[in-house]
Amino acid sequence: MDPSSSERPEPALDESSAVASTAEVGPRSTFAASVVAVVLLGLVLALAMLAGAPRPSASPVDAATLASPDADSASERRTASAASADAGFAWPTAEVSPAAARASRPDVCTADSPADEAVDEEEFADRFAAARRRARERLLDTLEASTDDRLRVLGLVLKRDADVAAAALPMGLLGESCGRDAACVRRAAESLAEASRLAAGPTTEAIARLASASRDALAYGLAVDACASNMAAVAPSCRLISPEQWARLDPDSAVPWLHVAATAASRRDPAALADALHRAAHARGHRGHGAPVHDLLEARLPADITASERVQALAMASAAVASASTLPDYSPALEFCSRAAVRDSNRAQSCAALATQLTDNAGTLLDLAVGIRLAEQIDWPGERLEDLRRRHDAYSRVQVEAMAEAEPRNCAELAAAAEQGARLARLGEIGALREAVELSGKTIEQLASEERATRPVRLAEQGAPGGASN
């Protein structure tokens, strides 16, 4: 999500729909955020990784990136990288030097750690914090040494997120002091948005400059996300970034075409809107950024990185990608496919294809919800709609259960969190939810029934003063 915007416009789903409200599906991937947060709260060591099996080596092309640099060369590369970066941007300084990090590297969990071992919480937290610092250092070393535009952009995204978090902290504290004063909460939110926008400016400018000269679709897509919500005011190079160019670089993905449709609607260009939605409907898939970045980075992390540091570095990267991803505005598609509009047979055909794209190839729970809404508007058969609604509700149920899980307390729970995080990065939100349903041991019908029984209570609690929100 763009750091300067606390919310994205979302399609309104009326109360009569069996699909969850937008409070349920959320402006962004709450499942992604929650699972990544769990992974980041605990340093994870999957037992299979601890068995001592060697990591597969990188391809010959990437051998230089995988080489473990000594302390001096790492320092030289960081200095050279900072010197060659755009004005106003500097790579983050590591919290510990590479030499100090490698001097003593006890893992939070080891191959000999019993799965149910009771651990001292303070000692566990200290070891986790040290391991996270080491993982961040190795991750930043890898990103800044890379010649791959995707990884270079990811490094800038990590820097941007750190800058925004530092700027947002005092505004967040201000908001907490407002209590139930609505005017105070509104002012705090406005101040938070402005502080975040200003803090994100330098790195967003660097992202836009890098991507504007790149032919890589993934790097360019991250730049489109970074430049959303009028970031050009503080990052002028965002004017060089457009969804149209992203779609030209990645024409087989529906995601950039949906962004193109939103920009066409904003400038009231019905022909361009219709063309973009047609292309989105007939794209080969509905790809996001997560899986390619995860796979690319996993192959390039240093060969001598410990298993736990590797998991933590990948979790940090996944969190950065999740924070960078801005969902399309689906309002133009819903309006284009309104009940009145689809009386035209050609329009109905295009909208049916789009509904099929969003339901069959959904990347997020919101994609699926919007696809179901479109299907309702074009009067798909009731049995087909109910199957989709049950699938949506079953996914919602496992999402809620994942968010409710307690912080991991031992190596077994940490390993389970690692598995969840890897699944999310590898499969995307819907893929991870689908697999979670399979692992639950319950049927789609059972989970959907549970969700429908508990949803009213949960929404009532979220709507109450001080209630949690998705």
Distances (CA, A) of 74 to 93, 140, 145, 223, 434: 12, 10, 9, 27, 41
- Dump pLDDT digits (tens) for 450-464: 999 999 988 888 775
- Dump pLDDT digits (tens) for 197-215: 899 999 999 999 999 999 9
Comparison of pLDDT for 41 and 254, the residue scoring more: 254
- The answer to whether residue 9 sits within a structural domain is no
Question: How confident is residue 276, by pLDDT bands cut at 50, 70 and 90?
Answer: very high
- The answer to whether residue 65 sits within a structural domain is no
> What's the number of domains the chain is made of?
1
- The answer to whether residue 12 sits within a structural domain is no
For residue 46, what are the domain limits?
22-56+76-463
Mean pLDDT of 347-364: 94
Say if residues 22 and 10 touch (Cβ distance below 8 Å).
yes
Say if residues 328 and 86 touch (Cβ distance below 8 Å).
no
- The answer to whether residue 452 sits within a structural domain is yes
Say if residues 369 and 393 touch (Cβ distance below 8 Å).
no
- The answer to whether residue 392 sits within a structural domain is yes
- Dump pLDDT digits (tens) for 101-144: 444 445 666 555 555 555 677 777 777 778 888 888 899 889 98
- The answer to whether residue 222 sits within a structural domain is yes
Query: Model's pTM, two decimal places?
Result: 0.72
Mean pLDDT of 168-172: 74
- The answer to whether residue 4 sits within a structural domain is no
* pLDDT surpasses 50 at 28: no
* pLDDT surpasses 80 at 444: yes
Quote the CA–CA distance of 121 and 127 in Å, as a whole number: 10
- The answer to whether residue 11 sits within a structural domain is no
Reading the block at residue 255, the tokens are 């995601």
CA 9 to the chain's CA centroid: 18
What Rg do the C-alpha atoms of the chain give, in angstroms? 23
CA 393 to the chain's CA centroid: 21
